[in-house]
Chain A
Amino acid sequence: MQSFNIGLTGLRAAHKALDTIGNNIANAATEGYHRQRVELAPSDPLFDGKHSWGTGVDIQAVTRAVNAFVERQQLVQKGIAGQTEQELAILKTVESALGEFSSTGSLSQAIDDFFNALNDLVAHPTELIYQRQFITAAKSLSNYFQTIGSNISRMEDQVATFVDETVDSINGLTSSIAELNQKIQAAEVSGTTAHNLRDQRDRLLSDLAELVGIEVNQRDYGVVDVAIGGIAVVVGADAIRLESGFSDDNVLGICTEGSGVYRQVEGGKLGGLLAAYNQILGRIGQQFDDLAEAIITNINRYHVQGVGTHGSFTELTGWTLDQSLALSQLDLGITSGTLYIRLVDKQTGQVSRLQIDVDPDTDTLQTVAEKIAALDGLDASVLAGRLHIQAEAGYQFDFLPAPLPQPDQISLNDPTTAPTISVSGTYTGTSNDILTFTVQGGGTIGNGHWSIIVTNQAGQTVNILTVGNGYVAGTPLDVGYGITVSLGVGGLSDGDSFTVQALANSDTSGLLAAAGINTFFSGTDATSMAVCAQFEQDPGLLATCLGTEYADNSNAIRMSQLKDQQLDELNGQTINDYYTQLVTTVGQDITTRQLRQENTEAMLQNLATMWNETSAVDINQEAAQMLVFEQMYSALAKYIASVQRSVDTLMGLIV
């Protein structure tokens, strides 16, 4: 009766094969499904001492068509693709926020409009319409910086939120993978193959690879361990949960729950989000802040020293600072230096210059106020953290670096016959100096042959002024560096001298700009940049003048020339070049990532082809296989019927 067994083994094998083919066809469209095959082998033969007789067919195994190398490569490339896609999305969002090349205006246009309005102000410093135009352009510039700065800040917050959500998704997937590990192990330890469970787990691994770069290690009985950036997240049937957070140096990263040691990982959406936060948005945000700060600081540096068409001040109030801290702790760039204050007696017209020394390590806002208050003609205090400077009744003050109209120190043999000495002009030197005028020879102004030697603080001769015959008393003599001196009728003796303080910078400490005294912009970065409120109400406060007639445009010229200056704080670039490079670097980053994305997609396409060739269900092939096993089944049915007829015939002979 072995014949019947042979037939039955064949029918069973064909039946199982058809079932497998049916399963394959049913799952042809199932994502991640690996084609299965029934592996058949001849059953163990019978040996009768002389001959070996076949006993039919055994089902050896149901195998899953897998190319482990291709599968592993796909995980790697999906991680790269996921990260690239995420970084690209964020970079494109930043590029849209910048809005360059759009028709609706952009920051580069706002920067140009600002400096063009400043140029117009140079031509028309005292006219209200041009003052208002400049203020409007400055506000527009500030708004652009605020908007872009806020957008980047908001993007950072959103990215941090997405990181949390992605980590949650990762935790969900690793948990599911661990469960499937357990099931697969349980099935395969007992000798069965868990193809469908493996397919499910491979799908989860693929989903996980899109979220983050993973390393997969195979173990016995179909179990896999998974690590992310060196952190084990699945070990057999156990899943280790992750959390996101900031490291001590403010890097957004992940760690195992409760460990507190955060690190950045690569690959997948999470890798893209972390790179976007830490490298991309961090870098772009910092560059915007640096640009805004450079404009604020440099415009203010000049503005604090000038005056508007209204002239000198009766009072000025700065912005709020922490008055309990030393100036150096405020981190506003205040250095050791001197603040020079010009005091004007409105009644007599006399002008004097006062000064205080600033030591940022020991001075606070309060001590600075006290030093100013100790000066005759001035009062100062700190009101709710704001430095307030006020002139006493009958006085006005300003910080003009202009030389005083009379010499600072005079040493004369006979003051009764001395001429009136007048000083004027705007010092064009780049560093503060003291010019000493020493009489050589002596005599009566406009008579004889004698001169005045002018030397600087380093003792170098700046000029020799001929004041004897040929010099018209009262006419200005060009000393150099924009300063002129005139001597009236009278006489001087050999050795008589006087000095003129030549200031390029009336605040070498940077206190005024830091404390918001007579500044134009407020704020320290892109999101806080703003035009100080008083200019909206009174454009005449715009400090376009450096001259004591309050009608020149010297300070406006200094501010407008910032446009073409190479600034140290912008890596030696001009404002426009720095911003242009920032924008095109974003564009370059996008182009680089687009190329990477195209390459990765092409590689994934090739890997998909290879995967399809190995593991996908080809309907045509399954149909051909189906025909084969259908024929086999029919033949075996006929074989059994034939054996049955043979047995019936034999039975007929016996009975």
Chain B
Amino acid sequence: MAGSLTSLYDHISYAISLHNQAMTKLQEQAATGARINRASDDPSSAYRLLGLKSQDRALQNYIDNVADMVGNLEITDTVLQNMTSELIKCKQLVTQVAGGVYSESNRKMLANSINDHLEQLVLLANTKHAGQYLFGGTKTGQAPFSIVRDGSGRIVSVTYQGSLQQRDIEAAPGIMVPTFLTGSTAFACDQRKDPQLVLSQTGAAIGSGTSSVTGAVWLTVTQDDQGDYNLSIDGGTTVIDLGDVEDLTNVPVVDAQGRVLYIDASDINSTGEDLVAIDGTFDMFQTLISIRDILQNDHSLTDQQLSQVLPKTIDWVTQITDRVLEAEVLVGSRMSFLDSLKEALENMQANAQDESALLEQADITQVAIDLSKYQTLYQMSLAVAGKLLSVSLLDFIK
């Protein structure tokens, strides 16, 4: 057959080339430990693998963020627990003074204690963790509560200056979880009931309109030169002259901030101060300020009036303590949810990593066996080439 030696050479060199390519690929797999070192090694697996790697990175990011969120919530929970302790101590003080007979100086000492707890609560409300304030809603860069003090350094008002919106963070694909509480809702009750007269001296009654004042409000009734009664709920800054009012049964008494208390002024018969409480609206700081001021007897109440008012303050403290406890429960449930979510995310990540490994990793045992096989074939090809190509008829012609 003509051309057989040349054919032999071509076949042998082709086979050697194929064995070389196979060995090169197997050596790469052995060196990297990966079956897929480029998309062309197995395009369909590569497609899945790229998706899994991306999913793994995204899940890790979510897990890290959830861990951050849990950390924030844990600190928030601790702060809320501390707040609850402070409020419980306040309640004990108030219960003590409401149930006993205290002298003015003793009441003032208790007022100072209440003030100390108030200071501590403001500090706690302005807690910062990892550079972010915990109770300012989306405004985490500035202290959520600002304080106004009087000349003697006592807190006279605590104003919320944070955001009314909570910051939503994507804890998992499509799952937004609010993290930072808004102090305006966490530390203030929002189950408004009808206003109640705690202390009535002037004959005023509660009107039929829906009032917007919160907590405990002092209604001041004075009389002007014309003999008309004037009503105020902000110490005289804003005054309603009943002489200008047509319907005395439902008078809107407005303060400088635009808050309104509807009063039935038809039976007002004297000047003085009435104390109105709106259950379900107590704000933590304002309530303690009010209680402290009552204990200080800033409104010059008689002992009998004090004994009428002080038991009510126990209920006020109870309401705000319950509100903080609600916040604790909310935070606790979010932490629990996030813990479960983190576990689920970690499981998803583990599954993705397992599937990645199955797709990507080379079976080293199989690679070793295949390498050995191709090496043997390669050596055989070389040996055959050496044997066959070195012999021809010319060797036998004399």
Residues of A that sit less than 8 Å from B by CB: 28, 35, 65, 91-92, 95-96, 98, 100-101, 108-109, 111-113, 115-116, 119-120, 122-124, 126-127, 309, 420, 424, 444, 446-447, 469-476, 488-489, 547, 549, 551-553, 557, 560-561, 563-564, 576-577, 580-581, 583-588, 590-591, 594, 601, 605, 608-609, 611-621, 623-624, 627
In chain B between 128 and 185, which residues have their CB closer than 8 angstroms to a CB of chain A? 131-132, 138-141, 163-165, 167-170, 173, 176, 179
From A101, A112, A424, A473, contact of B39 by CB (8 A): A101
Chain A interface secondary structure, helix, strand, loop or mixed?
helix
Contact A101 B140, CB 8 Å, known A95-B38, A576-B51, A618-B4: no
Chain A residue with minimal CB distance to B10? A608
A547–B167 Cα gap in the complex (Å)? 12
Contact A586 B163, CB 8 Å, known A122-B169, A124-B132, A547-B138: no
Stretch at the interface among B258-266, B286-294, B339-347: B258-266
Q: What are 19 pairs between A and B in contact, CB < 8 Å? A: A65-B2, A100-B50, A108-B50, A124-B132, A420-B258, A424-B164, A444-B252, A447-B210, A469-B208, A469-B210, A551-B139, A557-B176, A560-B170, A584-B39, A585-B43, A587-B42, A612-B6, A613-B1, A620-B4
Contacts of B106 in A (CB 8 A): none
Stretch at the interface among B53-61, B229-237, B367-375: B53-61
- B39:A472 contact, CB within 8 angstroms: no
- B211:A446 contact, CB within 8 angstroms: yes
Contact A616 B2, CB 8 Å, known A101-B39, A123-B68, A123-B69: yes
Contact A584 B4, CB 8 Å, known A95-B40, A552-B165: no
From B34, B57, B58, B192, contact of A101 by CB (8 A): B34
Q: Mark B26-48, 1 if CB is under 8 A from A, else 0.
A: 00000000101111111110110
A119-B61, A120-B65, A608-B10 known; 5 new pairs, CB 8 Å cut-off, are A119-B62, A584-B50, A616-B3, A618-B1, A624-B393
Chain B interface secondary structure, helix, strand, loop or mixed?
mixed
- B54:A473 contact, CB within 8 angstroms: no
From B41, B163, B210, contact of A552 by CB (8 A): B163
- A489:B252 contact, CB within 8 angstroms: yes
- A557:B168 contact, CB within 8 angstroms: yes
- A126:B39 contact, CB within 8 angstroms: no
Closest chain-B Cβ to A551's Cβ sits at a distance in Å of 4
Task: Name which of A471, A576, A581 has the most chain B CB atoms within 10 A of its CB.
Answer: A576
What is the interface size of chain B, counting residues whose CB is below 8 A from a CB of the partner? Answer: 67
Closest chain-B Cβ to A436's Cβ sits at a distance in Å of 25
- B208:A447 contact, CB within 8 angstroms: yes
A309–B139 Cα gap in the complex (Å)? 10
Chain B residue with minimal CB distance to A117? B61
Task: Name which of B37, B65, B212 has the most chain A CB atoms within 10 A of its CB.
Answer: B212
A95–B38 Cα gap in the complex (Å)? 7
Q: Mark B288-328, 1 if CB is under 8 A from A, else 0.
A: 00000000000000000000000000000000000000000
Report if B209 contacts A (CB, 8 A): yes
Contacts of A469 in B (CB 8 A): 208-210
Contacts of A621 in B (CB 8 A): 2
Contacts of A614 in B (CB 8 A): 2-3
